[in-house]
A and B are shown apart, each in its own frame.
Chain A
Amino acid sequence: MPIEVRSLTHIYHRGSTSEAVALKDVSFRIDNGEFVGLIGPTGSGKSTLIQHLNGLLKPTSGEVLVDGQNIWDKGMSLRKLRQRVGLVFQYAEQQVFEETVRQDIAFGPRNLGLSEREVMERVEEAARMVGLPADLLDRSPFELSGGQLRRVAIAGVAAMKPEVLILDEPAAGLDPRGRDGILSRIQEMHRGGMTVILVSHNMEDVARLCGRLLVLNKGELVADGTPREVFSRNEFVKKIGLRAPDVVNLMEKLRERGWNVRTDIVNVDEALKEILRELGKEAPVLS
C-alpha cells in the first residue's frame, strides 16, 4: 500500500495570532515494505507530518494519497484508513486506560468490530510481537515499568494489523536495554512484511535500521536518500542541527590525520572492516 504525499503544507491556527507554518510543500512517496527513518531537529514538523498520513490532520494545502486515492476524497473512510496505517504516538504509554493490559491492547481490534475470539487471538499475537510476557497480560497496566508500558501501547496498534506502522520516537526515554528491545521488535515486524516509518532522534538507530531517510528542517523536506547518502553530507547534517553517527565523525577524523579510509560509513561493523583494511590486518573472525 504505497503512500504518496504531494506538496503538503500545514499551517496551525491559521489566521490567528499564533499562526505557525509547520510543513512547507513536502512531497515524497513510500513504497510497500520500506523501512523509512524520519529525522530532523525538534520542531521541524515530524509529528505534524506523520499525523497527516493517517488522516488525523488535514492538509492546509496539498494532498495525501494512499493506494493512489486521496484520503480526503468523499467516500473515503478515515477509520478504515487508520486501521491500515497504524500510528504510535510519542510517549504512547500515556494513552493506556483499561484495567488490564489485555483489555487495553484489545481496544483497537474491538473498534474494528471483530469477534471476541479473534480479538483475543490478535491481542496475544501482538503481545508476542512486541515481546510482552504472557503473564503480564492480566495485570493492571499501572503496575508495569515504563518500557513494558511502551510495549503495551505499541501492541495496541500492532493488534490492528496495519499494513503501515508509523512510530514517533518509540524508544525515547527508555534505558539502553529497553530501547534495543523495542527497536529489534520493530525490525522483526518489518521483516514480517510491514512498511515501517520511524521517527527518531538517534542517528545510530536510524543508520542501522532504515533503508532510507527523510530529513525535515523547519517544515521543509531537505534530504531524501539512504543513510549513507544523507550522512556523507556531514557539513549539511551539522548545519541543520543534527549529528551524524559517531562512526562517520571517527572516519573523518582519521582521514584528517592522513589515513586513507572511506568516510561514507554509517555503522560500526563497516568502520571496523575499513580500519583493519587500512592497518593491513585481516578482520578478526567474529565468534
Chain B
Amino acid sequence: MMSSGVIMGQYYPASSPVHAMDPRAKILISVVFMVVLFVGNNFYAFAIMGAFAGLAIAASKVPVRLLIRGLRPILFIMAFTMVLHLFLTPGPAIFKIGSFTATWAGLIQGLFIGVRLVILIMFTSLLTLTTSPIELTDGLEDILKPFTRLGVPAHELAMMMTIALRFIPTLLEEAERIMKAQMARGADFESGNMVKRAKSLVPLLVPLFVSAFRRADDLAMAMEARCYRGGEGRTRMRQLRMAARDFVAFGLVIVIAALVIVVRIRFGPVVSRV
C-alpha cells in the first residue's frame, strides 16, 4: 500500500555504463542538467535535453515503464500547474468558463512547464535508480568536502542520509505491522472526519516513535562499540575513481549546456511576453 508508485529513492540494480559511473560525476551532471533545464526557455532546448535524457535512459537499462510509473505521484501537481497556466496567462482566448479565459499563450506555457517537469523527474529519478544509496552518500560526502571549512558537516550529513535511507523501509514495515496490530484491536484508520482521523493516528505514532528512538539508541551503541567517532581520519573501503566514461559524460553535458544557451539567445522564450 505504501510502496506503490514511489520510485524516487529506489535503486534498480543492473549492470550498465550508467550504473558503473562515478557517483560524483552523476550527481554533478544531474545538478548541471537541472540548472540547464531552467536556463532553457523554449521547446528547442527541451528537444536537445530530451534527447540527452533519452540517451542516458537507454544506456542505463532501466525499464521506461518504471520511470513512467515514477511520474504518477506528480501527475496531480502537473495537471494543476498546467490548468493554472492555461487560465492565468493573458492573450487571445481559446474558450471561456465563467469569468476564466483559456488562452493560446496559456496552453503553450502550460505544456512547456509540463514537459519541463517530466524531463526533470525522469532525469533525477535516473540518478537514484542507477546509484546505490551507499554510492550516493559517498559521492555526496566528497562533493561537500570542500565546504567543511565553511562549517558544513559533510561526513555527518552523509552519514545521516545513509542511516535515514537504511531505515525508511524498516520504519514503513513497522508502521504497517503496528497499524495491523491496532486494527486487530478494533482501531479504525479510515473513517470519520479530520479530527477523528488525526486522533486515530495516536495509537500508530506513539509506538512508532518509541521504537524509532530505541533503534536509534541501539544503533548509536553499536556504532560506538565499533569505535565510530565521526569523519576525522576515516578512510574508505571503496575508493571513488573517475574514469574516462565520467569525463565523456561530463563533456557531453557541457556541450548540451552550451547548445541550450545558444538556442536561448537565437530563438527566445516560448511565449514572448507583451
Chain A interface (Cβ < 8 Å from any Cβ of B): 13, 51, 54, 56, 79, 82-83, 86-89, 92, 94-97, 107-108, 111-112, 142, 156-157, 160
Contact = CB atoms under 8 A, between A and B. Distances in A.
A238 B186 CA distance: 39
Contact of B202 (A97, A112, A142): A97
Contacts of B170: none
Query: What DSSP secondary structure best describes chain B's contact surface?
Result: helix
Contacts of A54: 184
A82 B180 contact: no
A94 B178 contact: yes
Contacts of A142: 210
B206 interface: yes
A75 B207 CA distance: 32
A94 B207 CA distance: 6
A97 B208 CA distance: 9
B186 A95 contact: no
B273 to A, nearest CB: 46
Interface residues on B, range: 10 to 19
A218 B206 CA distance: 35
A142 B210 CA distance: 10
B72 interface: no
Interface in B190-237: 202-203, 206-207, 210-211
A111 B184 contact: no
28 contacts: A51-B180, A54-B184, A56-B180, A56-B183, A82-B183, A83-B186, A89-B177, A89-B181, A94-B181, A94-B210, A95-B178, A95-B185, A95-B203, A97-B202, A97-B207, A97-B210, A107-B182, A107-B185, A107-B186, A107-B187, A107-B203, A108-B186, A111-B185, A111-B187, A111-B188, A112-B186, A142-B210, A157-B184
Interface of B: 3, 177-178, 180-188, 202-203, 206-207, 210-211
Contact of B186 (A56, A79, A89): A79
In this complex, which of B177, B188, B202 has the most chain A Cβ atoms within 10 angstroms of its Cβ?
Answer: B177
Interface of A is mostly: helix
A13 B207 contact: no
Contacts of B181: 89, 92, 94-95
A79 B185 CA distance: 9
A86 B184 CA distance: 7
A97 B180 CA distance: 14
A198 B187 CA distance: 23
A156 B185 contact: yes
Given A89-B177, A89-B180, A96 B185 contact: no
Contacts of A86: 184
A79 B184 contact: no
B184 A56 contact: yes
Contact of B3 (A13, A56, A92, A156): A13
Nearest to A79: B186
Nearest to B214: A94
Kindly name the residue among A13, A108, A142 whose own CB sees the greatest number of chain B CB atoms within 10 A. Answer: A108
